[in-house]
């Protein structure tokens, strides 16, 4: 082997070692910045630090009051209070508003190709079937049959605001779950979608995921039963028969169904079903008697909050929620629905609804020392992110939250690392990013209890 060949081989070996070293360093830095001991991932570790874990943070009447405030202040709406006849003009205006909103930002498809408004607007207008909206609409009242997205337009096409941002489909507004109510106003050209008013606002729902009736009292009787069960796990199966073999649907955490009867091994519940024509019908189904189901709501105590939040540990991140997971705000919404607290859809609305503690000009570390674990929400903007404060350990404050990613600094360059799930972390996460740690970015601190 010539000296020239030896030199080439030496260069290749040194370069390979350098690359391996960089990978090892990157892995080491990443694991150092986000590494939580196993015992910090247990609800019992944190709840033992709470002075009175079974004390009710809010009574039933206080929870009902907060729920009412969410509607009074416009964070949520009552679909069942929509009049039986609705002006078609208002529905057309709502649809045109969505088209105007769609003009205001850059758009990319799933292949990261930028698309113009003009190239897609004609198709959307055709699908929205706006010209067929009558002057007066007879409202139809419906129930959701299974978890389904509430979308801005009657299409499953995914649109991003920037390239390589695939999980964040801006046409997905939120997710509606089994047993939630909506009011139907209009149908798409292909009859596959319905334009509805949900608790969270207007949007399009797949027709196959909804059943409807003209009689709102039928839906109201389903929504306000004498007894009901609440799902305490992320997915609780609802069975067609008593032998618990064939699954009809699933209840996601916080979902509820009317209870018809209680037997030795299961609850007999009422579920909404869809006739061939789409009309609302009901049938009995069966849910196993286990610890993942509660008859009525849980009490709103630190222990119950912690148990429900940690049941969700590891749940995947899903923008707008859905069968596959939650985002930061829908994670907290699902947890607190188990106790009857109906939080709004967005993180900033959740914070604004609750009692806010001024942050500006105050020492956050001292503040957190005196704020209740499992009763405190932390928020930072841009984009909005909400977290549940769980306590202090070794002079560090910890939260549980659904986090998509965080930033690390490697060789002077910032790099995005992905979590994509519900995690426990301290507030020093992202401390090496240019925007600063979670602790530094906190702009609002809120407590359970509505603003006066």
pTM: 0.90
Dihedral sign from CA coordinates of 257, 339, 421, 180:
positive
Residue 362: predicted pLDDT:
86
Q: Where are the alpha helices (DSSP H) in 312-362?
A: 328-337, 347-353
Question: 319 — phi, psi (to 5°)?
Answer: -60, 125
In this prediction, residue 435 has a pLDDT band, given cuts at 50, 70 and 90, of confident
Sign of CA dihedral 149, 153, 159, 160: negative
User: What is the side-by-side strand order in the sheet with 280-288?
Assistant: 247-252, 235-239, 280-288, 266-274, 256-262, 228-231, 293-295
Q: Average pLDDT for residues 380-406, to the nearest whole number?
A: 94
**CA–CA gap between residue 35 and residue 309 (Å, rounded):** 19
**Which tokens belong to 324?**
């596959």
Domains 34-58+300-450 and 227-295 share a fold: no
Q: What is the per-residue burial (b if ≥16 Cβ within 10 Å, else e) of 134-145?
A: eeebebbbbbbb
pLDDT score at 4: 59
Q: What phi, psi does 130 have (nearest 5°)?
A: -60, -35
Confidence of residue 12 (pLDDT cuts 50, 70, 90): low
Structurally, at CATH architecture level, domain 227-295 sits in Roll (2.30)
pLDDT (tens digit, 9 = 90+) per residue, 280-296?
A: 999 999 999 999 999 99
In this prediction, residues 260-271 reach a mean pLDDT of: 95
Give the confidence band of 439 by pLDDT, cuts at 50, 70, 90. Answer: very high
The pair of structure tokens assigned to 429 is: 């996460």
Pair 359, 444: CB distance under 8 Å: yes
Delimit the domains of the chain by residue range.
34-58+300-450, 76-222, 227-295
Average pLDDT, the chain: 91
CA 94 to chain centre: 24
With tokens 């337009």, the residue in question is 153
Q: What is the pLDDT of residue 364?
A: 87
Choose which CATH entry (3.10.20.340, 3.40.190.10, 3.90.1720.10, 1.25.40.80) describes domain 34-58+300-450.
3.90.1720.10
Block residue for tokens 């959307």:
124
Distance separating alpha carbons of residues 325 and 423, to the nearest angstrom:
13
Name the CA radius of gyration of the chain, rounded. 25
pLDDT at 27: 42
- Picking from 109, 91, 88, the residue whose alpha carbon sits closest to that of residue 156 is 109
Name the DSSP letter for residue 384: T
104 vs 30, residue with greater confidence = 104
- Residue 132's contacts (CB-CB under 8 Å, 6 or more residues apart) are 186, 189
CA angle 440/445/450 to nearest 5° reads 165
Q: What is the pLDDT of residue 412?
A: 80
- Span 2-27, average pLDDT: 51
Confidence (pLDDT) at 24: 44
Backbone angles phi, psi at 392, to 5 degrees: -120, 140
Phi, psi (rounded to 5 degrees) for 383:
-75, 160
Superfamily of chain region 76-222: SH3 Domains (2.30.30.40)
pLDDT of 361 reads: 81
pLDDT tens by residue, 96-116: 999 999 999 999 998 999 999
Residues 137-148 have a mean pLDDT of 96
């Amino acid at each position: 082997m010539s000296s020239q060949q030896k030199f080439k081989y030496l260069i290749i070996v040194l370069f390979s070692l350098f690359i391996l070293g960089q990978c090892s360093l990157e892995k080491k830095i990443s694991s150092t910045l986000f590494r939580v001991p196993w015992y910090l991932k247990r609800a019992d570790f944190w709840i033992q630090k709470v002075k009175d874990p079974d004390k009710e943070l809010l009574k039933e009447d206080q929870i009902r009051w907060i729920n009412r405030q969410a509607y009074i202040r416009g964070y949520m709406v009552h679909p069942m209070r929509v009049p039986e006849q609705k002006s078609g003009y208002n529905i057309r205006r709502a649809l045109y508003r969505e088209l105007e909103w769609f003009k205001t930002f850059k758009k990319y498809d799933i292949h990261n190709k930028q698309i113009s408004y003009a190239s897609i607007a004609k198709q959307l207008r055709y699908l929205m079937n706006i010209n067929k909206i009558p002057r007066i609409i007879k409202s139809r009242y419906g129930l959701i049959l299974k978890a389904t997205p509430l979308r801005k337009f009657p299409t499953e096409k995914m649109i991003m605001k920037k390239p390589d941002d695939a999980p964040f489909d801006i046409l997905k507004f939120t997710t509606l779950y089994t047993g939630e109510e909506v009011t139907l106003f209009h149908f798409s050209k292909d009859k596959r979608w319905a334009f509805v008013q949900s608790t969270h606002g207007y949007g399009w729902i797949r027709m196959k995921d909804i059943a409807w009736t003209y009689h709102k009292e039928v839906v109201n009787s389903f929504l306000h039963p004498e007894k009901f069960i609440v799902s305490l796990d992320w997915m609780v199966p609802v069975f067609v028969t008593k032998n618990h073999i064939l699954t009809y649907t699933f209840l996601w955490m916080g979902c509820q169904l009317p209870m018809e009867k209680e037997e030795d091994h299961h609850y007999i519940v009422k579920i909404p079903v869809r006739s061939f024509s789409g009309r609302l019908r009901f049938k009995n189904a069966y849910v196993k008697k286990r610890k993942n189901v509660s008859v009525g709501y849980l009490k709103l105590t630190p222990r119950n909050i912690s148990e429900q939040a940690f049941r969700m540990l590891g749940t995947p991140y899903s923008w707008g929620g859905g069968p596959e997971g939650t985002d930061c705000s829908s994670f907290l919404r699902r947890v607190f629905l188990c106790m009857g607290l109906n939080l709004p859809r967005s993180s900033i609305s959740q914070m604004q609804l609750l009692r806010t503690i001024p942050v500006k000009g105050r020492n956050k570390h001292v503040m957190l020392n005196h704020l209740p674990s499992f009763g405190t929400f932390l928020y930072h903007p841009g984009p909005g992110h909400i977290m549940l404060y769980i306590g202090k350990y070794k002079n560090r404050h910890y939260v549980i939250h659904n986090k998509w990613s965080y930033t690390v600094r490697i060789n002077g360059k910032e790099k995005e690392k992905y979590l994509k799930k519900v995690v426990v972390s301290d507030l020093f996460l992202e401390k090496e990013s240019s925007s600063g740690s979670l602790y530094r970015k906190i702009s609002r601190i809120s407590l359970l209890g509505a603003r006066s």
